[in-house]
Amino acid sequence: MVRNPAVAGMFYPGDERGLKKELSKFISFNENKKRVIGLISPHAGYVYSGGCAGKGFSMVEIPNTVIILGVNHRGVGYSFAVDGNDSWKTPLGDASVNIELRSKLLEDSEIFRLDSIAGRDEHSLEVQVPFIQYQNPDAKILPITISSNSFKDLKTGGIEIAKLMNSNKDIMIVASSDMSHYIDAEEAKIMDDKAIEEILNLNPEGLFKTVFENRISMCGVCPVVMMLIAAIESGAKKAEIIEYTNSGKITGDFSEVVAYLSMIIY
């Protein structure tokens, strides 16, 4: 089965030539790329967050498999849904799903289930795929959609993913998230700095509590929490900010922005 694009032509160009041209603006040559365990990447339309996402992807080597953890904006399907398609189509071609890795994850998992409905229309997953393809056309993906707010379950899932990563070092995780939504840019920075501090401290539980206690509208906090848990279990020692920005820098309206973050964990 092939998962067809849901937001091509809306969130990013719907034709190969246009998409490559767009990506070439965002992704720069970097001879000091890092092998990272995790990357936090935004998921708005490329006109708003593509530059921020591109700076993050420009910093990393794309391995042979990328696990994409996305937020379930629509709330359909299972809470920890592992996509069941064989590939994801984009204007750049088909990105194969790592079926073997998927089988290993599902085999003994307490929380993950096979479910292609949750990610069928989910842009938080889809917009990451062209960035991966552009840098490593042979990379396989494993898209996972998350809609649970249970820290206990997020921790279980992170540990289960870490087991895969500890048996295969040629894997990285992309945690898809935007930051504060539809508030003043200065207020967004104040709120988001609280969350970013916990990420820099590699404190997934602290991030979880900080976001929910302060009502920070970081939509992908749960994918980021799960990624951090997996990364720590896989030996991560450091987190680094690549860029923090907001939509006001594109629109000129700073009174009501969506904020974006790129960070690497290694």
Q: Which DSSP string do the residues of the chain spell out, in sequence order?
A: -EE--SSBTTTB-SSHHHHHHHHHHH----TT-B--SEEEE--S-IIIIIHHHHHHHHTB---SEEEEEEE-SS--S-TEEEP--SEEEETTEEEEB-HHHHHHHHHS-SS-EE-SSTTTT-HHHHTTHHHHHHH-TT-EEEEEEE----HHHHHHHHHHHHHHHHH-SSEEEEEE----EEE-HHHHHHHHHHHHHHHHTT-HHHHHHHHHHTT---TTHHHHHHHHHHHHHTT---EEEEEEEETHHHHS--SSEEEEEEEEE-
- For 36-76, the pLDDT digits (tens) are 999 999 999 999 999 999 999 999 999 999 999 999 999 89
SS3 171: strand
Residues composing the chain: 266
Count of domains in the chain?
1
Question: What is the pairing mode between strands 65-71 and 140-146?
Answer: parallel
Task: For residue 70, give its domain range.
Answer: 2-265
* CB-based contacts of 197, cutoff 8 Å, min separation 6: 210
Q: What is the pLDDT of residues 226-261, one digit of tens each?
A: 999 999 999 999 999 999 999 999 999 999 999 999
CATH number of domain containing 151: 3.40.830.10
Token output for 179: 């930051």
pLDDT tens across the length of the chain (266 residues): 999 999 999 999 999 999 999 999 999 988 889 999 999 999 999 999 999 999 999 999 999 999 999 999 998 999 999 999 999 999 999 999 999 999 999 998 999 999 999 999 999 999 999 999 999 999 999 999 999 999 999 999 999 999 999 989 899 999 999 999 999 999 999 999 999 999 999 999 999 999 999 999 999 999 999 999 999 999 999 999 999 999 999 999 999 999 999 999 99
Which of 193, 92, 180, 102 minimizes the C-alpha distance to 136? 92
Q: Using CA atoms, how far apart are residues 86 and 2, in angstroms rounded to an integer? A: 6
Distances (CA, A) of 187 to 110, 191, 255, 264: 39, 6, 10, 24
